[in-house]
Structure 1
Amino acid sequence: MSKYLKVAPYKKRKLRSGDWIIISSSGNPLVIDAHTLRILCNKEINSDIFELHFIELLKEEGFLVDIYRLNRIPEEPTSFKFKFFSFLMLAIGGVSLLGVVYYILYSGLPFSKSINLLAANPILGVIILVIFSILTTFLHEVMHLIYSNSLKSQDNKINISMTKAVATVSMTHIWTWSLIGRIVAIVSGICLDLLILFIVFFFNQRIHFEYSSLLESILITRIVWQFRVQNKTDIRLFIELVRDDPFLFEKKTVSIKIINFLGFLVNILIILIWLVPLSNYLRM
């Protein structure tokens, strides 16, 4: 006698390819064809319909369960207020980017000054570096929580990896959102980074703060860090969202290899923007 399995609640959206992406309460995405989707639309399915390995995959990703769970899958807000603040965040990010570019062209990169400050007072410099990094990283991830509508979700936590020195939040559910909703959710963190960097640049031109160059260097490094697309960064997810392909970087196409190579060059760039000023300081 065949066993019937319950289909857990999920969200869905049709991709440009014609396939469908579905997201369960576990937050794991799965791309299926229209025929499979029609079967999953039932509240229960016969385990004999699919091959055993696919049944196991559906179980692992949270689409088939023994008991229904009440975990909420965050939906895209449709209120005018949320849309207004979404476009406002994009505008703030764009203006901040232009301001940051202007100040960098006007006053140059701050890494040489940062090396001098760290050499002159390493203890205070490291303390400022650590505190400011933690604070701005937390704010960056909070922006993702807000614009991915995850504050009320049961998965509304910031995951911290001390070994990788990164903090992340789960945002896979935004794959079922509209294009603008997906973009705002993923770039909101970088937009805030740019805003803070612009503010630091702005006040540094008017109010002298000895360690402002260190703050600028931290934020520039974090923003550039996101372009390491060979890793799971905001920019990588942004490219996947725009191309409407959640498994884009798993492909071995020439274009993906080039993009990954550029991401590798970003690693080298991050090392150089700190190493070159350090080498110049040591030669003095």
Structure 2
Amino acid sequence: MEFNTLEIVQQNPSTSVFRLFLNRPSLHNALSIQFFSEFSKAIASLDQNPSVRVIILSGHGRHFCSGLDLSALGSLSKPSSSDAGRTRELLRRQILGTQAAISAVEQCRKPVIAAIHGACVGGGIDLVAACDIRYCTEDAFFVVKEVDLAIPADLGTLQRLPKIVGFGNAAELALTGRRFSGSEAKAIGLVSRVFSSKDAMEDGVKAIAQGIAEKSPLAVAGTKSVLLRSRDLTVDQGLDYVATWNSAMLLSDDLQEAVSAQMQKRKPVFAKL
């Protein structure tokens, strides 16, 4: 598929790891209205492609993402009708549409890994908070910016970030709108590892993604689904959910292949999802 704000790349025909790039480098990958429409389609196409097992989300150019394009914010806030009720109803639908684009990352069966360099601001944090794993470079910096634009963050940061970094850390970052570094992001749990350079991150994240891609795609999809569902359930409810999942998926060829490979001391080979 061809996009104006994104690029999908399979860098090696033999790999099932695909790259999804934010592709507005001249604007530091600011998120336009068109981005949200294209992003949903891109994630859906990768999810439905049986050759894809892992997705790496990153940005072309000097920065991962500078946040929401201010022209997009202006167009959303422009009255669409002389009727205030209809204007607000349309605005609500537009906000829900942009939220759905970000939530598509969680709904994708394949794990999505964020590889962050340079700026990750505003909407960029909405985006990475929806990813399954996050890594960054030493020079990366982060800002929950929306409070400085006179709005509460409305694309998922205020819902997802507290589950990742804790309520107190999320509240402090969201209310102050201050800039914080890659090392602080690691300290509070937003990212799992900080790499010394963009090249080092590229190599490291590719290796991690390839390792995940070699595992059972049923088990990987199940692990992602159970983690996300259990996040919002009690322990007993989460255990009940995983029992139901495994009762449906346990009797798979993947399990037999995994056991055989362990016994034969070889790498397992799993069918596409």
Is TM-score (shorter-chain normalized) higher than 0.5? Answer: no
TM-score in terms of structure 1 length: 0.25
Bigger radius of gyration among the two:
1
Higher relative contact order (CA 8 A, sep 6+): 1
TM-score in terms of structure 2 length: 0.25
